[in-house]
Chain A
Amino acid sequence: MSTLQVNEITDTGGSTLLGRRNAIINGNFDVWQRGTSQTASGYGSADRWGFDAGTSTFTMSQASFTLGQTDVPNEPKHYASTAVTTGSTAGSFALYYQQIESVRTLAGQTATLSFWAKADAAKDIAVELSQSFGSGGSPSAQVNGIGVTTCSLTTSWQKFEVTVAIPSISGKALGTNSDDKLTLLFWLDAGSDFNARTNSLGNQSGTFDIAQVQLEAGSVATPFERRSYGEELALCQRYCQTVRESAANGRAASSNNSITCAYFNTYMRFTPTVSYTTTLGTVSAVYAKNNMVTFNGTSDSSNRIAVQDVLLDSEL
C-alpha cells in the first residue's frame, strides 16, 4: 500500500487549492466563438461574457498580451478591452457581466472575486453581484447590490481582490424555468440612477481592460485557475456552440422534403435558439434539442439541402 504524505497545507481562508475553484467560465478570455468584438448589447464576443449599455456606447474587443510580458502572471493570451463613451445622463450605463448558472452557486458563503485590470487613465469601476431566482411561476425577487465595491484602476495592470458575503437563499422560491443564476457585474459607467448598485460610480468614458477573472469560495484569492483551451471551450459550449463551415448536409431521393441534422458534443443548458445560413435548398422548420438540431425543408434541383454558420445559443 502506498501512502500519500502531505507536507504542507496553506491556509486559504476556507477555499481549496484543488481543481474547479473558479465559478467563472472563460475568466481568462480564451474562448471567442461569436467574434472578437461587439458594439451591441447582449452576447457577441468573449464567450459567457455579456455586455449591456443604456444611452452609452461601447466597443468590447479581444486584446492580446505580448509574449513574455510579466505584468499579469502565467502568460495569459487575451484580455477584454472595452472602450466606453458615456451618454452622460442619470440613466446612462455600461457594464459587462457573467451569469453563473444556478443561484445556489456560493449561496450563504464567503466568496472572493479576483481580477486584473487597468484603464487609459486613473478611473474607478464598480463590481457587484446579484442573485436571480429565475422566471416562471412565482420566484423570489432578485437581490441586487451584493458586495458592491469600488476598484481604482490606473494605467498599469493591478490585481484586485474583493471578498463578499453572498446571502443565503434559505426561504427563497425558485421560478419554474430553470434559469436562476448568480451574476457578476463590472460597472464601467453608471449615472446616478445606479448609485446604490455602484457606490455612486458616476458617468465616465474611457478604455477599461480586464483579465483573469476568478470567483471562488473562501476569503482569500488563490492563484488563477488555469484550464486547458479544450476544457474551457467545453464549458462554454453548454451555453453557445458554433459550426462555422458546413454544419449539416442532406440529400433527398427527390426534390421534395428533406431533413438534415447536426449533433453536438456538449449538452446545452436548455433548448437553444438556432441561427444559420442555408446554402443549398430551403429550410422551412428547425427543431432544436439540447444536443442536436434538425433542419426540415425542400431540397434544391439536385435534391440537396445544406446549412452552415450554425450558432446555438442557450445563454441565461
Chain B
Amino acid sequence: MNIESAKYVKDEFTNENSSITAVIDGVTMSVPLAGGNRHYQEIMRQVEAGELVIQEAE
C-alpha cells in the first residue's frame, strides 16, 4: 500500500478530526478514524514507523 499523502479533515460542527483524506496507490480516499479499517491501520503503522506524517486539517 503506497500512501503518498495524508491530511486530517475536521467535522464542521464539532471541529474535531473526523477522517483522513489520503492518496493511496494513486487514488484519493476518505479514510475513517477507525481501528478496524485496513487503510487507517496502515496509515498509523507508517506514522509510527516515521514513514508518514499526517498533515493537520485546514
Structural contact, B38 and A271, CB atoms closer than 8 A:
no
Whether A274 and B29, one on each chain, are in contact in the complex, defined by CB atoms closer than 8 angstroms, is yes
Could you tell me the dominant secondary structure of chain B's interface residues?
mixed
Q: How far is the CA of A40 from the CA of B1 in the complex (A)?
A: 9
Do B30 and A271 have beta carbons less than 8 Å apart? Answer: no
Residues of A within 8 A of B37 (CB): 270-273, 314
- Proximity string of chain B (9-53) to chain A, C-beta cutoff 8 Å, 1 when within and 0 when not: 111100000110000010111111011111111000000000000
Q: Which one of A185-193, A229-237, A281-289 is at the interface?
A: A281-289
Q: How large is the interface on A (under 10, 10 to 19, 20 to 34, 35 or more residues)?
A: 20 to 34
Q: Which of B9, B10, B11, B30 contacts A273 (CB 8 A)?
A: B30
Nearest Cβ on chain A to B31's Cβ, whole angstroms: 5
**Contacting residues, chain A, for B18 (C-beta < 8 A):** 285, 287
Residues from chain A with a CB closer than 8 A to the CB of B36 are 135-136, 177-179, 269-271
Nearest A-chain residue to B28, judged by Cβ: A275
Chain B contact residues, CB within 8 Å of chain A: 1, 9-12, 18-19, 25, 27-32, 34-41
Contacts of A272 in B (CB 8 A): 32, 37
Q: How far is the CB of A62 from chain B (nearest CB, A)?
A: 20
Nearest-neighbour CB distance to chain A for B37, whole angstroms, equals 6
CB-CB under 8 A from A269, the residues of chain B are 36
Instruction: Give bound CA distance, A208 to B14, whole Å.
Output: 52
Which chain A residue has the least Cβ–Cβ distance from B9?
A285
Q: List 25 A-B contacts (CB under 8 A).
A: A42-B25, A135-B36, A135-B41, A177-B36, A179-B36, A257-B12, A270-B34, A271-B34, A273-B40, A275-B28, A276-B30, A284-B9, A285-B9, A285-B10, A285-B19, A286-B9, A286-B30, A287-B11, A287-B18, A287-B19, A288-B19, A288-B32, A313-B38, A313-B39, A314-B37
| Complex-state Cα separation, A135 to B44, whole angstroms | 12
Least Cβ distance of A261 to chain B in Å?
Answer: 13
